Amino acid sequence: MGNIQAFAADYSEARDKFLAATRLSGARTVRYDNPAKGPRGESLSTDVARLGLDDASKVVVTISSTHGVEGYCGSGFQVDWLATVGSAGLPANTAAVFIHAINPYGFAWTRRVTEEGNDLNRNYVDHGKPYPVNEGYLAIAEDLVPADFSRQGLEAADARLAAYRKKVGDVAFFRAVSGGQYSHPDGMFFGGGGPSWSNRTLHAIVETYLKGRSDVAVIDFHTGLGPYGYGEPITHYDIDTPASRRVRAFWGESVTESKRGQTASQARDGLGHHGPNRLLREPETRLTMCTLEFGTFDRESGHKAFRADHWLHKYGDPLGKEAAPVRAVMRRQFYPGTDDWKEAVLFRGHQIVRQAIAGLQRGAI
Ligand SMILES: [Zn+2]
């Protein structure tokens, strides 16, 4: 099972491989054009493919590239599933929907954020309400993304960050850094000033493909947290709800629940989880969603990569000669690209999707 040739070297190749796989498998596709362009002027889009009957009551959904550069992982899996499983893996009443590159800008530019600078996992908030204020971020914003990115400049910024961390403690420090902020559009973990293009596009896709279905499973592929190559199914449902019980029934004992503090990622407002879960509600639709988080390297190196990426786009030239090393570090952090890592992604991805399809057949539990 699985073929690591499904993984691509860049966004455009990923898109080409995805479209080729959809044609071979007989899936129908729709393109959602993104207004931005890639670093070589290439067109960007989210492409959606559906396999199975239009009116199937049960649907399994995979999403790649919520965090842009993390799309290498999910895209490779989607291509492999279409090529090696296809409609033979679907019961008659079940369709499969593939959302390829929901954040095509981030994928193409090797970034985590969207063209609006949004971390999509902070963007699914109620934009009609005042945004939460992250006081901690305000205090350290200039040191997280310092204008002077020379070795001396970074050392000085790091010293100030270390002093701040000592003053407030680890929990408050990490909340300040990565809890999300709505004040610095060119800063880290920016949640946005409105629904981003990717958010609106996901909304439209859910309305078109999933509204009114009885049972829907969504698997949102991510990378960067946890042990190298291991895929952790993370759920953000409130504990002991029907949805949290379904997550466990689908994916068993490997499921971790952020609301129980078991996960590599924290529960917070604005997560991608809240996108589909606000639109699809019981009793009309039983939605069972997980984030499938594949480990790469440690958090510290991820943090370094983000800082350089934000520096490049705020103070540097994203098309200049300083861009290539920054992008190389980002890419390796979120897509190690070794054969054993790819094999692990495919094995786990197929297992999780197969379990989801089996779970959908059970309906209410
Ligand atoms: Zn992610």
Ligand 1 midpoint to CA 224 (Å): 7
Q: Which residue has the tokens 């692990």?
A: 344
Segments making up each domain of the chain, as ranges: 4-127+192-299+332-362
Cα(161)–Cα(138) distance, integer angstroms: 12
The CATH number corresponding to 4-127+192-299+332-362 among 3.40.225.10, 3.40.640.10, 3.40.50.2020, 3.40.630.10 equals 3.40.630.10
Ligand 1 midpoint to CA 142 (Å): 24
Exposed, middle or buried: residue 133 (CB in 10 Å: 0-12, 13-18, 19+)?
Answer: exposed
Ligand 1 midpoint to CA 74 (Å): 11
Cα(83)–Cα(163) distance, integer angstroms: 52
Ligand 1 midpoint to CA 53 (Å): 31
Cα(149)–Cα(145) distance, integer angstroms: 8
Cα(240)–Cα(199) distance, integer angstroms: 28
Ligand 1 midpoint to CA 202 (Å): 16
Ligand 1 midpoint to CA 335 (Å): 11
Q: Could you tell me if 214 and 57 are in contact, meaning their C-beta atoms sit under 8 angstroms apart?
A: yes
- 275, pLDDT greater than 60: yes
Which pLDDT band holds residue 269 (cuts at 50, 70, 90)?
A: confident
Cα(30)–Cα(278) distance, integer angstroms: 23
- 1, pLDDT greater than 60: no
Which pLDDT band holds residue 365 (cuts at 50, 70, 90)?
A: confident
Ligand 1 midpoint to CA 70 (Å): 6
Ligand 1 midpoint to CA 112 (Å): 8
- 267, pLDDT greater than 70: no
Structure tokens at 337: 């690209």
Residues with CB under 5 A from ligand 1 (ion): 67, 70, 222
Per-residue pLDDT, 263? 78
Q: What is the pLDDT of residues 95-135, one digit of tens each?
A: 999 999 999 999 999 999 999 999 999 999 999 999 999 99
Structure tokens at 107: 């994928």
Ligand 1 midpoint to CA 63 (Å): 11
Ligand 1 midpoint to CA 91 (Å): 30
Ligand 1 midpoint to CA 44 (Å): 20
Q: For 20-33, what is the mean pLDDT?
A: 97
Per-residue pLDDT, 262? 83
Q: What is the pLDDT of residues 303-342, one digit of tens each?
A: 999 999 999 999 999 999 999 999 999 999 999 999 999 9
Per-residue pLDDT, 2? 75
Which pLDDT band holds residue 268 (cuts at 50, 70, 90)?
A: confident
Ligand 1 midpoint to CA 265 (Å): 9
- Report the chain's mean pLDDT, rounded to a whole number: 96
Ligand 1 midpoint to CA 223 (Å): 5
Cα(187)–Cα(207) distance, integer angstroms: 31
What pTM did the predictor assign? 0.97
Cα(268)–Cα(4) distance, integer angstroms: 34
For 274, residues 6+ apart whose C-beta sits below 8 A from its C-beta are: 124, 125, 236
Which pLDDT band holds residue 264 (cuts at 50, 70, 90)?
A: low
Percentage, residues of the chain above pLDDT 90: 94
Ligand 1 midpoint to CA 331 (Å): 13
Ligand 1 midpoint to CA 108 (Å): 15
Q: For 30-37, what is the mean pLDDT?
A: 98
Which pLDDT band holds residue 363 (cuts at 50, 70, 90)?
A: confident
Ligand 1 midpoint to CA 71 (Å): 9
Ligand 1 midpoint to CA 42 (Å): 24
Exposed, middle or buried: residue 351 (CB in 10 Å: 0-12, 13-18, 19+)?
Answer: middle
Q: For 168-188, what is the mean pLDDT?
A: 93
CB atoms within 10 A of CB 141: 18
Q: Which residue has the tokens 């809890």?
A: 179
Ligand 1 midpoint to CA 222 (Å): 4
Ligand 1 midpoint to CA 218 (Å): 15
Ligand 1 midpoint to CA 64 (Å): 10
